[in-house]
Chain A
Amino acid sequence: MKLTRAIKNNWSGLLVLGLALIAWELLAQRDRSFFFPPISTIFSTFYEVWFSPRFLEHAIPSLGRMFAGYLLAAALGIVLGMLTGSIESLYKTLEPFLEFMRALPHALLIPVGILFLGIGDTMKVVLIVSSVVWPILLNSTEGARNVSQERLDTAANFGLGRLEVIRRVVFPSALPMIFAGLRIGLAFAFIMVVVSEMIGSTNGIGYYILNAQRTFAVPQMFAGILLLALLGFGFNSLFLWFESKVLFWHHGETGQLEG
């Protein structure tokens, strides 16, 4: 039911996707270039490569690093964001630093990470955290700073302590902003895990893709890219579903709730 409705609502998007795949297939069939395998070959390679122990060998470590880094960054970003957003003096002190860190291209941290932490899992997780934490932290801070005065006054009026105000009023009020940060962070986590695996690793999807390219295993390289694309799409959809569950009240309040 839900699937048929989703297809009905997105038929034009699916049509474009289908046409692109068909065009790829036809062009590749005509060209027969070694570097440009037909999509059907990529699909069958995808099946051979990933429906095998290789999934455990490469995909699982990537996902493990990604989630370890992502969850750590989320916890760190939200907690620190609530504090910097609620305490004006802390905000004033840290704001220039935070803006600077946000502006830094995070891939730059990889050589630094390798220098200090080698090429193990710690390096990758630390790199993911140090990239993902900024959008989450900055959005949480902004969310905490934008809580309406009436809400804060209401909480103070009922005698809530400072930490209680943060937990029961500031945090839920900031959730829409926090989720916006978490969503940007999810994309960052994907990028950082792949890039860090390409530069220093012996397993992982990023390593697999780069290795396939270096050994001219072109369909395998595309199979790796396809896996990443599917995982990215899947996690983003999962994220949106989770967000709609948690933030239903926000969508209701702003009139975006689906009937």
Chain B
Amino acid sequence: MPENGTTLLNVQHIGKQYGDLLAVKDATFDVKESEFISIVGPSGCGKTTLLKMICGLLEPSSGQVTIHEQQVTSSVPEMVLVFQDYSRSLFPWLTVRKNVLFPLKNRSDLNSAEKERRAQEAIQAVGLEDSFDQYPWQLSGGMQQRVAIARAIAFRPEILLLDEPFASVDALTRAELEDLVLRLQAKFKITVLLVTHDIDEAVYLADRVFVLGPPPSVVIRAVTVELPSPRSQTETRSDPRFLEIRNEIHDLITKDAQDTKDIEEENTTEVRSSLSNVD
């Protein structure tokens, strides 16, 4: 459990400025080994920017990210990001198997049998063993996102970063994928950072939830989720403690929105409309 784990990732005062636009103001937090972290916040509060900075795809304007006490300056093999838009991140000219093999191809430390084995294991772990030789565009949205997750898993990162991975699938598929990610986390002993605007999803999955304020984002609170594992879609979600945490986070975001109302009228309405989506 997170309380006594060792710190794996350290994010210190990172911010991102695009010209005049301050996308992320100041984010600071630690992530421990094997922890499941949800980052929740209103739409357009720079969550994607935050993830991209953490995994080294985007250079922060200020602050720094370290993993194993090494500063992250470009992509590192310890972290893989799964994008929200699977249809754009999967390669349509490759089969499921070859998509998953894609990141392993230039790894000289693995022989081809090992690469195949890893790809197979990852594809089986996401339940797509029947779709090995199909192309992504022949699969449903939920299955495509499974391929993207399998591709990330096959690379064996220590941290899996998920950027609203279930935002574009239907509710049932979404619940399935949530449980899949929980199983994968247990099976591969992976640390997960998941970004979402769905408070229920954030609480259901995580050991800790980081609540982001309206843009420019700052982490306004880290909420520890003390709910029994393994989680269950029916039991966990009807647990009184689940509702309590969920309401607490909801109030945090709403209150923050109230506070900024006088300062920036426009932002507030945006936050409210996005909150009404997640209720």
Contacts and interface: CB of A to CB of B under 8 A. Distances in A.
Nearest to B138: A252
Interface in B58-111: 74-75, 77, 79-81, 83, 85, 88-89, 91-93, 102-103, 105-106
B80 A157 contact: yes
Contacts of A168: 102, 105
A164 B106 contact: yes
Given A153-B83, A158-B103, A249 B93 contact: yes
A168 B91 CA distance: 10
Given A151-B89, A164-B106, A249-B137, A159 B77 contact: yes
B155 interface: yes
A157 B57 contact: yes
B93 A154 contact: no
A159 B75 contact: yes
Interface residues on B, range: 20 to 34
Given A153-B57, A157-B55, A249 B92 contact: yes
B57 A156 contact: yes
B88 A150 contact: yes
A27 to B, nearest CB: 51
Contacts of A172: 91, 93
A1 B85 CA distance: 42
A146 to B, nearest CB: 12
Interface residues of A, number: 20
B57 A150 contact: no
A148 B83 CA distance: 12
Interface SS majority for chain A: helix
- Name the 8 nearest CB pairs between A and B, nearest first: A158-B103, A150-B88, A253-B137, A150-B89, A249-B93, A253-B92, A148-B88, A154-B89
A158 B102 CA distance: 9
Contact of B135 (A148, A161, A249): A249
Contacts of B89: 150-151, 153-154
A169 B77 CA distance: 19
A250 B83 contact: no
Interface in A244-258: 249-250, 252-253
Nearest to A158: B103
A7 interface: no
29 contacts: A150-B85, A150-B88, A150-B89, A153-B57, A153-B81, A153-B83, A154-B83, A154-B89, A156-B74, A156-B75, A157-B55, A157-B75, A157-B79, A157-B80, A158-B80, A158-B155, A159-B75, A160-B106, A161-B106, A164-B106, A172-B91, A172-B93, A175-B93, A249-B92, A249-B135, A249-B137, A252-B92, A252-B138, A253-B137
B91 A151 contact: yes
Contacts of A159: 75, 77, 103, 106
Contacts of A158: 75, 80, 102-103, 155
Contacts of B106: 159-161, 164
Interface string A26-67: 000000000000000000000000000000000000000000
A252 B137 contact: yes
A157 B137 contact: no
B81 A250 contact: no
A159 to B, nearest CB: 5
Interface string A226-259: 0000000000000000000000011011000000
Given A150-B83, A157-B75, A252 B135 contact: yes
Contact of B52 (A153, A161, A249): A153
A172 B135 CA distance: 15
Contacts of A160: 106
Contacts of B83: 150, 153-154
Interface in A129-158: 148, 150-151, 153-154, 156-158
B163 to A, nearest CB: 10
A169 B83 CA distance: 16
B190 to A, nearest CB: 16
Contacts of B57: 153, 156-157
A175 B77 CA distance: 29
B19 to A, nearest CB: 18
Contacts of B137: 249, 252-253
